[in-house]
Structure formats: structure tokens, C-alpha cells
Amino acid sequence: MNFHNVSSFETFQQLWSQYGYEGNFGEMIQQEFPRIKGITYLDHAAATLYPESLLRNFFRDISTNVYGNPHSHSPSSRLTHDTVEQVRSRVLQHFNTTSKDYSVIFTSGCTAALKLVAETFRWRPQTEGEAGSHLCYLTDSHTSVVGMRGLTSTLGVAALPVSSQELKTRAKDGIQEEDVICQTPHLFCYPAQSNFSGRKYPLSHVEGIRARRLYPACDLQGRWFVLLDAASYVTCSSLNLQDCPADFIPISFYKIFGFPTGLGALLVRNDAAGILRKTYFGGGTAAAYLSGENYYVPAENISDRFEDGTVSFLDIIALNHGFESLYRITGNMHNIQQHTFGLARYTYTLLSSLCHGNGRPVAQIYAEGQFESPITQGAILNFNLLDSSGQIVGYSQVDRMASLFNIHLRTGCFCNTGACQAFLGITDQQMKRNLQAGHVCGDGVDLVDGQPTGSVRVSFGYMSTFEDCQKFLSFVAECFVMKPVTVNRARLQELKAARESSDRPDELPPVNGFIKERQTGVEKSSSKASQQEFGHVGPSHGKTLTNIYVYPVKSCAAFEVHDWPVGPLGLLYDRGWMVVNGNGVCLSQKRESRLCLIRPQVHLPSNKLFLQASGMDTISVPLEDDVSFHTSSQMCHSKVCGDRVETFDCGDEAAAWLSLFLGQPCRLIRQRPGLTREMKKRRPLTPPGLPLLAAASSFLSLVNEAQYLMISRASVELIQNLMSNRFECEMFAIKRFRANLVIAGAEPFEEDNWSHLIIGNTRFTVAGPCGRCQMIGIDQDTGTRTKEPLVTLSAHRSGKVTFGVYLTHQAPEDFVSVLSVGSVVQMESHDH
């Protein structure tokens, strides 16, 4: 089966009928979203994109009208008040209701709306004669929902997590009799749509809980209120509050319009507002109060009562223009739902059908169904990629490669631990062990003991295109599929245009000219190295140190040496300085590739660091402590890989030199002498069955993760040859990999299996592999970028984007040694 035909727009139309809106969809994208040209943005569930017309109309509005504080009574203030009230009406109209039934309380976002409910709900603690309130929530809930229990637990309120299966399996037939005696209030929270998988939960659950048909309401007497978390749902779906009269509905507007950020709302059913009780009262929320007496009367209007202080009225006014643009471009939310679901369904079908050349599937999809209907599934696709042996490819590797292709997606657990555990099969004990292993929410630790800690999510918005789907699928096939790419015919038999299946699956044809069959002589010869990759190596002879590189200024060019001192932080002066922008943020070649054109040189006899660059005069800064220099220097703080570091500024001359060369305000800063960072504990990506090595507690300069980075010439040459055959491009220099130490005499990627090595009289511990990013695509002589090296590396290593290993050593503060080119390298493997 020909994948090129399957991935055509004709196939999309056979899967789904609606694409785009009235008018020329392509022209609309060019006019409203010119800034995303060349970008494949697939993270709309996190934040969608705003159209140009929204900003133009909003800026025209605020530049021609004077909006005052709505708490005043001047003409400008009345204009603000009336406009804000008009926006409230428009919000309610968007959800097919009116101020007769609902009130709009503006907040800073959905999370603030949830916190408001948790803080003001009239929870009743348990007494001897009556049961207390319960906070119940679906386990497939956002962190901000689960986090409500942090407030309620201090009040003696029981928290009850409920799985989606329990809702129905433990339900009772018929409506339970109204309990007129027990009036204990309970709150049940559930998402209209899972932000993890895109699953849409029945909106009928609102009435099911109120009528006490569904669990847990059927088992607990009292009054039941329902909070419907609609933040994910309303991004691409229409919510009709006439059909689904939930008591509390929190939302965030940037997920609908893209702009403004930092603005959300809590929609409160007026009949349920009495269950909310304010304790704190801010400006504008009081009808009357006394400062000298505990006397306070809340404002009668529900919105006024709960909006402490002055609302963000200019942001609220921007919503008017958000609605205008949204409806003008798309027509209505139903059209958005149809368009985005079609894209998600198409991507799901193709991704779930892709197979490696050996027939194994490429992806593990995390979904309840098979994207049958937009009634049950939103425009979110969650998955992990699998290598040709069926092992999970870590989501950090996918994220890193996607960035190289300018594909913007989301990885991790998406602030939904419950769904993440359920889909990935992670037990509570495993979650706790992962924390002990150093994994925390939001970090890049994607695998622990070979098991995934999270996944990859792509999501679509109303401006997403078929080309976005194609680029994403081509990216997966190019970087993570063992060739020839095949298609699972059984999954695609529903497609009317699918060709008759043959006994032999077809290869994926070139996509954008990149995909080629991996049958070159170089590839075949590398299979032997791959087979040996996890075998016993043991100490061997003939391995030598061929190059030593020092990088005095972080992300600038290398300074090659023949013999060099080694201290407690690693190579002397390695990454002792770094360049920061005008806001004090560290600059790297990811942001500013021209840093590689700055050539620092350490001159020990004169105690100076020289900075050189083409077209610039050479300048210098002192190497060692200069009391007068430090006294006059400004102490500052910065961050390196999340670590806060104390530094001092190296003066105006260096700042002016860097600013002129880089074309932006910059400063040169240096790590404060005597202050060091401790290396974080790493869990190396060791082969299955091999023990994990705990890296020694070592101290770092301004390096990212470890004191040294070592690579093998054989590994570099293999990737060079593969890239040359794959892309018919020229060889690249070894310094592209920015290693400190280069060795010769090893087999390609043999270093992955080492645990310790000795160079000269210094013993090193292998702390783990170096995960690579787009920086290896930067030519260190010109600063130009290319993605071929990273693509080749990923393809050869089945999505495992690692190259080289980190080394550490433990040493006292006065430790001094010397490394010399030509030294013999002795090593030990994991199983030695």
C-alpha cells in the first residue's frame, strides 16, 4: 500500500467531509496568521493562536477610546463599565444562556476560578449527627481541580477521587428520592473534555449527579452541585448551558482566542450562587463595611461580590474583538469542531497505521475510542512513539527532534497525573519511586527503568491545516521509523481510495525529498556495531585521547589545547564565563548561533582571557581573582539548566564588545569564585537489564549537566558517512559535537556501554549519555544551521537522540592533574 496516496488530501476527504470555513481558507491563514509561516504549531490545547485582526481592532479600540477605572463615575469610567457588562452578555450568549440564569465572574484564568470555588463553597465538616461534605472529582482531571483538595482537607472535608468506570458501574437505576432532611452540600467536579486524551465526557453527567443516579451521588445523601471544567472543551466545541446547566463552569479565554492571556472566568448558575460565601472582601465587592467594627455587607450583584479589586478591564474589552474575529473567520463553534476533529481523526488514522519495516507499529495511541465522532472525541491526539523493537522512545527525544523541524507540540503528563497513570499503567508506588529517582513534573526525565513517565500530545485549533498534519506525519516517518516505512492495511481498509493490498508492504516514498531507503553499504556495515552496542567490552588497548577542547565562554567557540590542567570542576576555566542578554538570561547557540564565531583564548602566563572575532578588535578580561576588579564589579544572579548561580559582571568593555558583535545588548558574566553547583543526580539511559549507575557527587562550573563531554571519533565518522550517503552533503567537522575529550580506537558507539575510564592518572565515572538538540546542526565555523546531523542521528539510533557520554570525577578542592593528547585510555563496561 502506497503511503503517499494514503497521506493525500483525497484520503482526508474520505475520512471526513468538512475542512475549512466559508471563503478561501488558505488566504485567511496568510492574512490572519502570517507569523506562523514555516511553523507547524500543534499545541492548541495549551494555548491557541490569535489572529492579526483581533490585535488590530483591539489596538484601534484602545487608541481611540479612553477607558477609565470602572469603579469611578466619570464618562471614561462609565464607558468601561458599560463595555465590560456588554462583554459579560456576550460571554453568556456564546454559551447559549443569559444573565437570568448565569453570572460571569472574571478571574485570572481557569485555575483561579477553581480556587475561588474551593475557597468559597460552604463546606460542612462532619459532626456526630451528620456526615460532612465531600469533594469528589474524576481521576481524569487537571492538577488545578485535584489541587482543590489542598484547601478542603484543612476543613475536614473528605476528598473522593472517582474513575470514569465507577460513575456508571456503581450507578443506580432511577432518580433517588430527594433528601429533605440532609442538606449537606457536596461538590462533584469533572472535565467536559480530558486535556490528556481529548476524550469528551457526557454532559448529561451534570443531571445524573444532581438526580443522584450516578456514583458517588447515589451513595451519599445531601445536596449535590456540579463543577464542569470546560477549559479544554470550549477551545474547539460548543457548550450549550441550556442543555447542560452545570453549577460552576471555569474557563480560560486564551485557550479560545489566543489573546488576551491571564484572563478567565467562572460562570456561576444564579440558583447555585448562594452556596458560595466570601470571607475576604476587596475593593468593589462590598455594599457597606466599617473599618472600626466587624461589619460587612457584600455587594448584591454576584459578579461584583466575587471580583476583588479592579478587574483587568482592557483585557476584558479585548474579548469583544476575540468574539468578532472568531465568528467572522469560522462562522460558529460547530464549524470549528468539525474542522479540528477531521484533522485529529486523519492524523490518528495515519499515525496508528504506520509500521516499521519489520511490521511493528510506530506509535502507541492513548485514547478510549478510535476517533469515531466529535461528540465523544476532541481535537487532541496523545501517544508515545515506539522503536523497531517495540521499546518506547522517550518523549524528550521526540520533543527535541520536533523543535529541529519547527514543530511545536507538548510532552510530559500535561498536568493530568490521573490520566497519565491510567493510560501508561503507572502505579502509585511507581510514581513515588520516579520522584525518588529525580523525576518531577515538567522535567525532561522521560524514561525511568525503561518505562515512560509521560507521553507526546498534538492538538489542533481552528487555524490548523491539512499541511500541519502532513508535516507532522512526515517528521515521524523521517526520524523515528525504520525503513522501509509500511502501512497496516487492516487499519486502513475503511478508506475508499486505498489500493488493493499486496502481499509485500510498500515503502514510504520520499517526503520533502528527505526519506530514502536505508540500504547503503555504510548502513549495513554499521549493523555489526549496533549488535555489539550492549555487549561486554571490558578493558582494551589501542584507545587514545586525540583532542582536548576547552570552552572558556559557554556556547562560544572551542579553544583546542595539547596539555591542560584538570581541577575539581573539570578542565581549568571550562565554561567559567557566559554571555547573557539585556534581561540577564543566558544566551546559547540555540538562540544566537553567532556565538560560535566568538573565539575565546586562555593565556595562562598573562592571566588573561582574550576574546576574538572577525572584524573586531581583541579584548581581554582577567582570569584569576583580581580584588580591585571584583570590588568594582556588579554581583548578579543567573540560571543554568534551572540552577540559580551567583556571578559577577565582567565590565562595560566586554559588554560593549559583545553587544556590537551580536547586535543586541549583552553582558559577559563569570561564575563567582568559591561558589559551585552540585551535579544533579542522573539516571543514565542504560541498556535493559544493566544496573543504573549513581553518578558521583561532583561540582560544576557553568556547564549544563556534567564536568566533561567525551565522544569517539569512530562514532563521529559513522554519522558523517551516514549523513553523506543519506543527504549527499559534505562532511562536517568533529567540533560540531562540542566535546571536551575526543578518543580514537573504539568501535562506533562503544562508549555508550562504558561505566568508568582512566586517562593518564585521572579516573572518570560515566554519568550517562548526552541527549542532543539542534545545536549539532550549527556549523561551528559559520554559524549556519542545518537539521541533517540530528535527523541522521535519530534515524540511525531509532529515535534515540544521544551522542557521546558525560564524565565526572570526584576531587578535593586542591585537586590538580593534567590531561595530555596521546594518553592511553582504559575503560570498564557496565557488565565488567
Of these residues, 413, 415, 556, 586, which one is catalytic? 415
Coil, strand, or helix at residue 203? coil
Cell readout for 362 is: 510506530
CA-to-CA distance for 702 and 695, rounded, in angstroms? 18
CA-to-CA distance for 220 and 226, rounded, in angstroms? 14
Cβ distance 320 to 221 under 8 Å? no
Indicate if 218 belongs to the active site.
Answer: no
Q: What is the DSSP letter of 438?
A: T
Furthest CA-CA distance within the chain: 91
CA-to-CA distance for 483 and 362, rounded, in angstroms? 11
Q: How far is CA 324 from CA 54, 104, 290, 743, in A?
A: 8, 19, 44, 63
Q: What is the DSSP letter of 688?
A: T
Cβ distance 702 to 645 under 8 Å? yes
Instruction: Return the bridge partners of 377, or none.
Output: 199
Which residues have CB under 8 Å from 556's CB, separation 6+? 579, 595, 596, 598, 599, 600
Phi then psi for residue 824, to 5 deg, are -75, 140
Per-residue b or e along 704-715, where b marks 16 or more CB atoms closer than 10 Å to that residue's CB: ebbbbbbbbbbb
Across the beta sheet with 563-567, the strand order is 570-571, 563-567, 817-820
CA-to-CA distance for 489 and 468, rounded, in angstroms? 24
Cβ distance 363 to 384 under 8 Å? yes
Per-residue b or e along 223-260, where b marks 16 or more CB atoms closer than 10 Å to that residue's CB: bbbbbbbbbbbbbbbebebeebbbbbbbbbbbbbbbbb
CA-to-CA distance for 80 and 83, rounded, in angstroms? 5
Per-residue b or e along 460-472, where b marks 16 or more CB atoms closer than 10 Å to that residue's CB: bbbbbbbebbbbb
Q: Which of 127, 119, 142, 128 is nearest to 46 (CA)?
A: 142
Cis ω for the linkage preceding 216 (within 30 of 0): yes
The residue written with cell numbers 460552576 in the block is: 248
Active site residues: 415
